[in-house]
Amino acid sequence: MPARSWQIALLIIAVAHLIGQWLGDRGLADGTQVLLVPAVAGTVWSAAALPRRAPATSAYGAALGFSWLGDWLPRFAGDQHFVVLVACFLLAQICFILTFSLSSRRAPSWWAVAGYAAVFAALFLACRAGAGDLLPLVALYGLLLVTTGACATTVSPLVAGGAALFVLSDSLIALGHFLPGFDLPHHQVAVMATYIAAQVLIAYGLLRHRSRPPRGGTEASAG
């Protein structure tokens, strides 16, 4: 399918999903959620801008794969749905970190590390009491999440913005689960809107990053 068709499909699926979330239509919301990441993947791969055998491309493909699992697998996990959700996206964050590290070959700046460390500390303090036995898993995921955000700043502003929205989306999930009294109107709409925007910005950011002329051979050697 041509790249333009994938882009249109992604737009339709995203809008339909958010409408389903807003209206509380679980059939529409759940049915479109499992199509979101495949539509992102189709948009990326139809652009033919990422070198297929490069390690960064493989890592990104794995990140999308684990994201897709996180979008649909938890609904079949019963009481363990949240643990399955965190486990899937924990693996996705590891793959995103690899993607960004292989794409830029640079370490994050001190301000990015400090900023995301502050975000992690604030979230940890907010969720510590309510997380209970899940605190170690949630803390590990939080550390990987903010590491993803910091590493994304080395690639491009679009990728950095997408990763920041990923952090925001998952922060809203954590606060909704673990912070007593947290009540954001249309909470799930906000979670999914930021999640969709995150995946789209990361995708287009990586495509634009690869289409830029290499500087001193660095990007070319990165595969």
Q: How would you write the pLDDT of the chain (223 residues) with one tens digit per residue?
A: 777 899 999 999 999 999 999 999 999 999 999 999 999 999 999 987 788 878 999 999 999 999 999 999 999 988 899 999 999 999 999 999 999 999 988 899 999 999 999 999 999 999 999 999 999 999 999 999 999 999 999 999 999 999 999 999 999 999 999 998 898 999 999 999 999 999 999 999 999 887 665 454 444 333 3
Q: Which two tokens stand for residue 180?
A: 């007593």
pLDDT score of 212: 62
Q: Please give the Cα distance from 77 to 88 (Å, whole number).
A: 12
pLDDT score of 211: 62
CA quadruple 42, 202, 62, 187: dihedral sign: negative
Give the pLDDT confidence score for residue 4 in this predicted structure.
Answer: 85
Give the pair of three-digit tokens for residue 214. 């290499």
In the 8-state DSSP scheme, what is residue 1?
Answer: -
Name the percent of the chain in helix, strand, coil, to the closest 5. 85, 0, 15
Helix (H, G, I), strand (E, B) or coil at 9: helix
Q: Are 195 and 164 in contact (CB under 8 A)?
A: no
The predicted pLDDT at position 2 comes to 77
Amino acid occupying residue 101: S
Q: State the Cα angle at 40 between 48 and 64, rounded to 5°.
A: 95
Query: pTM of the prediction?
Result: 0.91
